Amino acid sequence: MWFGRGVYAVLALIVGVVVGLVFRPTVPDWLSPYLPIAVVAALDAVFGGVRARFDHIFDPKVFTVSFIANVLVAAFIVFLGDQLGVGTQLSTAVVVVLGIRIFGNAAAIRRHIFKA
Amino acid sequence: MGAPTDVPGPDPGAAPGEPASPAPRRRPPRPAGPGIKVVVAVLCALLGFALVLQVRRTASGDTLATARPDDLVQILDGLQRREDELNGEIGDLRDTLTRLRSSGASSAEALSEAQRQAAALGILTGTVPAAGPGVRIVIDDPNGTVPPEVLLDAIQELRNAGGEAFQVGSVRIGVNSAFTGGRGAITLDGIALQSPYTVLAIGDPPTLTAALSIAGGVLDTVRRAGGTMEVTQSDDVRIDAVRAVLTPQYAQPTTG
């Protein structure tokens, strides 16, 4: 298992998915513009964490801080854009930047797994 | 935006000092305490939860209720444009439908009119079999004394009385039929007739019968010539003999 001690995180992710599937909660309206952005930001943090795990430099504290900061900053940028009337464009920009980072991390993970 | 599918992205690992997402500080990670692990697990669970939530929202399509106003305006614009296009298309198709319906109706009318005329002309010229109410006349000439004029008179009288189709013996009467020959040896259109002569006529049976038996009419003429005549009314006279289609050699139709 590549994750070694990181399996618990994967299990927690699965648990979260199952809980979401079972409970079918509704999203409060004020949150709905920021939820997709927050998810993408969190995904970016998780990919970064996985990559750090492969590099043997994973630090749960760094992960925690970067996860929360990522989500909050991304949501705040979109919120600011909404207030300025450029919410759509800014959320697009945030998604693009985060997407590029996710891609970079995914490429690094791929090199670790496939040695290519 | 076309995202490259498998392009090695910028490699932060290859350039130390580049901030990667969890800023990799080059130091051996301290053994993590159980508390921070719980936090990490909770965060991962939260991510899974939020993922499912967002996917469900997107799939259920109720994102409009919470979309931004300018997004809504754009969506509305697109929908209105689409509606205009579709309305135009509906108009065009309706026009086409109306055109096709009217042309279909008129061509069907023309076709049925042509068929009606063809049937009428075919009965008139004797090129199609005919059936209907009428009379069956048998003129017997035991002594061979009945002249062809008598048969001609009979046909003329029947025509006057509104007869529409006639057959004498096995010959259909057409527009160019002619009785020739002499007493006892009558020829119709080149075909010799044998007594007793059978005449089939389609028309109103009582009228035809009355026309034949008026004083000085066909019946009297036949009797004077030494023959006998029997008239039978029938609701179903069948005239099966047909004439060949007459192709005029000299006459050409003219307009006007």
Judged on CB neighbours under 10 Å (0-12, 13-18, 19+), B125 is middle
Question: So what's the pLDDT on residue B6?
Answer: 40
What is the three-class DSSP state of A25?
A: coil
- Closest by Cα among B217, B200, B227 to B153: B217
Other Cβ atoms closer than 10 A to B191: 11
Q: Is the pLDDT confidence value at A102 over 90? A: yes
Q: Determine the Cα–Cα distance for residues A91 and A74; give it in Å rounded to an integer.
A: 8
Average predicted confidence (pLDDT) for chain A: 87
| Residues of chain B predicted below pLDDT 50 | 1-25
B21, B38, B52: best to mutate for the A interface, most A CBs within 10 A: B21
- Closest by Cα among B199, B204, B127, B219 to B160: B204
Q: Determine the Cα–Cα distance for residues A37 and A42; give it in Å rounded to an integer.
A: 9
Q: Which residue of A has its CA nearest to B37?
A: A60
The answer to whether B53 and A36 are in contact (CB under 8 A) is no
The domain locations on chain A are 28-114
Q: Determine the Cα–Cα distance for residues A109 and A47; give it in Å rounded to an integer.
A: 8
- Token pair 């009228």 is at which residue? B207
**Using CA atoms in the order A94, A95, A98, A102, what is the torsion angle rounded to 10 degrees?**
180
Interface check for A95 against chain B (CB to CB < 8 A): the answer is: no
Question: So what's the pLDDT on residue A67?
Answer: 92
CB contact under 8 A, A64 and B36: yes
CB contact under 8 A, A66 and B9: no
pTM across the whole model:
0.45
Question: So what's the pLDDT on residue B89?
Answer: 95
First-to-last C-alpha distance (Å) of chain B: 75
What is the three-class DSSP state of B228?
A: strand
Q: Considering chain A, what percentage of its residues have pLDDT values greater than 70?
A: 96
Which of the pair, A87 or A44, is modelled with greater confidence? A44
Which of the pair, A99 or B54, is modelled with greater confidence? A99
Distance from CA of A55 to the nearest CA of B (A): 8
Q: Residue A65: pLDDT band by 50, 70, 90 thresholds?
A: very high
Q: Determine the Cα–Cα distance for residues B46 and B51; give it in Å rounded to an integer.
A: 8
Question: So what's the pLDDT on residue B10?
Answer: 38
The answer to whether A66 and B22 are in contact (CB under 8 A) is yes
Interface check for B29 against chain A (CB to CB < 8 A): the answer is: yes
Q: Which residues contact B247 (CB under 8 A, 6 or more apart)?
A: none
Q: Is the pLDDT confidence value at A103 over 50? A: yes
Question: So what's the pLDDT on residue A32?
Answer: 80
Interface check for A69 against chain B (CB to CB < 8 A): the answer is: no
A5, A13, A26: best to mutate for the B interface, most B CBs within 10 A: A13
Question: So what's the pLDDT on residue B32?
Answer: 57
Question: So what's the pLDDT on residue B22?
Answer: 47
Give chain A's radius of gyration (CA, Å). 16
Question: So what's the pLDDT on residue B31?
Answer: 60
Question: So what's the pLDDT on residue B20?
Answer: 44
Question: So what's the pLDDT on residue A115?
Answer: 83
Question: So what's the pLDDT on residue B8?
Answer: 39
- Closest by Cα among A26, A36, A54, A46 to A95: A36
Question: So what's the pLDDT on residue B2?
Answer: 38
CB contact under 8 A, B47 and A66: no
Q: Which residue of B has its CA nearest to A55?
A: B13
Q: Which residues contact A40 (CB under 8 A, 6 or more apart)?
A: A74, A94, A95, A98, A99, A102
Q: Determine the Cα–Cα distance for residues A113 and A108; give it in Å rounded to an integer.
A: 9
Q: Which residues contact A103 (CB under 8 A, 6 or more apart)?
A: B3, B4, B7, B9
Count interface pairs A-B at CB distance under 8 A: 164
Q: Which chain A residues touch B70 with a CB distance below 8 Å?
A: 85, 87-88
